[in-house]
Amino acid sequence: MDDLFDLTGKIAVVTGGSRGLGLQMVRAFAQRGADVVIASRKLDACEAAADEVRAMGRRALATAVNASAWDQMDRLAEEAYAAFGRVDILVNNAGMSPAMPSHEMTEAWFDKIVSLNFKGPFRLAAQVAKRMYDGDGGAIINVSSSGALVPLPMVVAYSGAKAALNAMTVSLAREYGPKVRVNAISAGPFLTDISKAWTEEARERSGNSLGRPGRPEEIVTTALYLASPASSFTTGAIVRCDGGQS
């Protein structure tokens, strides 16, 4: 056990926690002693991840939610607190970034993208932050995107929603500090499920300083840093984990 990232006895909630970067974080938190609430759309995938956590000797709750829905974010918070009594770490990880020409964007798609990447995370973070503030405090991590800092064509709604998520991160850090720390991970291209739709060249090379996409497990140390007491003087920060995107 690395004492710097020791999460023994902590309760973590991870949206989009059944695959990709979310699953990597679930595994990392559990390996370091945390019990985990795993939320995503598909219950069977959440249960599979929960089984992994239980096999490590930790407790796990699997729950199916639509992370873009206001009322389901309320339900997720209630379920987490009913099961474990508190939340110490919240990771707003669920998101999507469909690429399409801006002039072809429908209102329904725009609302879906903004709701999943901003509205849902706002509601869940606000509900959990208030409870954390009234209790022993905690850490909130919003998974953002380099697309908010270096906007790209064809994903304007996504970039805008993630930029709003970055602003929310700083604002909530001020609103619920000093007991609640709120930070964001600005993630670059990662070889998660979404990369299956990329070209072979895009899966091997990227226009960042390292010249390649990230491996999913490379998100872990950034997440552990922000979730643990190792980052006790870090809040309202947008931490880039993008291979040097520019």
DSSP 190: B
**Integer-rounded Cα radius of gyration of the chain:** 17
Residue 138, by phi and psi: left (phi above 0), alpha (psi -120 to 50) or beta?
A: left
Residue 170, by phi and psi: left (phi above 0), alpha (psi -120 to 50) or beta?
A: alpha
Question: In Å, how far from its chain's centre is CA 168?
Answer: 14
- Residue the block writes with tokens 């990227």: 206
Per the annotation, the verdict on 158 as an active-site residue is yes
Name the catalytic one among 81, 133, 158, 176. Answer: 158
Measured distance CA(183)–CA(114) in Å, rounded: 20
Tokens of 59: 């407790």
Q: Mind telling me the catalytic residues?
A: 158
